[in-house]
Amino acid sequence: MSNTWVLVAESSRAKLYRVNGRLAPFTEIDAMVHPESRMHEGDLVSDVAGSDGGSVGQGRHVMDNKHTAHQHESLQFARQLASRLDSGRNNGDFDNLVLVAPPEFLGHLRSNLSKEVMSLVSRQVDKNLVQKPAEVLRAYL
């Protein structure tokens, strides 16, 4: 683990650590929050799903989006984190990257990371450890 960044994230918060060696301590270099991801669905949308009025066929039909507002916010946060990681890669801040996130959010991260950043990912842990102290993370890595 030389010059490694460890991103520990979930849909509403993330911590970024630097580890400069296998036994070196974790140094927190950034903490990010996305409060919109913690909001209730009803607080994120201003109205109910639309309706086509049901003038033809079998009556009214509700129009729905592919993603809920909560999922949309989670995707937004994954994009922000991916941008942060891309910036770090461009600056040469890390040679190695470890991703730690719950399975669904880990998928969001992977789909938003550039291929250059993905090429630096050495490990992926599908657990929600964002509230755990840094010492606990070492056991998973």
The verdict on residue 58 lying in a domain is no
CATH classification at residue 30: 3.30.420.60
Asked if the structure places residue 46 within a domain, the reply is: no
7 vs 70 pLDDT, higher one = 7
Look at residue 119 and tell me if it is in a domain.
yes
- pLDDT of res. 68: 74
Whether residue 102 lies inside any domain: the answer is yes
* Sign of CA pseudo-dihedral 5, 103, 141, 34: positive
Q: What pLDDT, on a 0 to 100 scale, did the predictor assign at position 101?
A: 97
Give the mean pLDDT of 83-91: 97
The number of folded domains in the chain is 1
Flag whether 97 is in a domain: yes
* DSSP-derived 3-state class of residue 124: strand
Question: Alpha helices, DSSP H only, in the chain?
Answer: 41-44, 69-90, 103-112, 115-118, 134-140
Give the residue numbers spanning the domain of 105: 4-40+66-140
Q: Which residue has the tokens 């918060």?
A: 13
pLDDT tens profile 53-75: 445 555 544 444 565 766 888 89
Q: Is this model's pTM higher than 0.85 or not?
A: no
Answer yes or no: is 55 within a domain. Answer: no
**Has residue 101 been placed in a domain?**
yes
Give the whole-angstrom CA distance, residue 63 versus residue 67.
12
Q: What is the mean pLDDT of the chain?
A: 82
- The answer as to whether 21 is a domain residue is yes
